[in-house]
Amino acid sequence: RLKVPASKLADLHPSDIAEIISDLNRAEHSDLLNKLDLKQLADTLEEVEPDFQADLLGHFPDEKVADVLEEMSPDEATDLLAELPDERRQGLLRLMERDEAEEVRELLRYEEDTAGGLMTTEFLAFPPDMTVEDAIKELRLEAPDVETIYYLYIVDNEEHLLGVLSLKNLILAKPHARLKDAMKTPVKTLPLDAKEKDVAEFISKYNLLAAPVVDENGVMHGIVTVDDVVDVIRD
């Protein structure tokens, strides 16, 4: 049996906690999960499969589960909700903060094994006339609320994707240059209905850390990050 104080759990990586949980019975992993704060719990759940996530949260009250879902990235929260009965899923969405719930509702519209189902709606998008200096300032403000930041995406007022800028190129660009002058174009993109295998091949072929997902009008809806398809790439 695992006898670890909560203070020691904070030193473990979420992947290590998830591995420990997989070796415990229901009563034991319930004790362990109850020792974690919301952020640790969310990070740990993201390291296990959605069906196991649903099983682990089966004994938690809906109010706590909703809080955990808000801490998870939108794509991970969507995968978890998809494993739950419709009645409980709708109840949890009503308990979540409005913005987070709307993001998840959008992702639930897409098939699980498509780019739309794999993507996260958390990405950084800036207007083309913003200066590099201002973009870096804005990046510092928004970074804590974004799961991963590999690239900045340049979009117009209607969210059409115009260009992309890596963090390295952003740092190397002149402070007063406009993003439209520093960005790379055309951008390699994925359609919303691209299949998981094609998404993995796309990311591997172009050596991307994240790939933007757009609709038929070129409007950006999200990004698929390399960690979302790493198992497919490995296979």
**pLDDT single digits (tens) 14-63:** 888 888 888 877 777 777 888 888 888 888 888 888 788 888 777 788 99
Closest CA to 56 of 32, 85, 92: 32
Q: What is the pLDDT of residue 11?
A: 80
Q: What is the pLDDT of residue 2?
A: 55
pLDDT tens sequence across 150-188: 999 999 999 999 999 999 999 999 999 999 999 999 999
Residue type, 119: M
The strand order across the sheet containing 210-214 reads 190-191, 210-214, 220-225
- The residue-averaged pLDDT of 206-234 equals 91
Cβ-proximal residues to 77 (8 Å cutoff; 6+ apart), any chain? 69, 70, 100, 104
d(CA 51, CA 35): 22
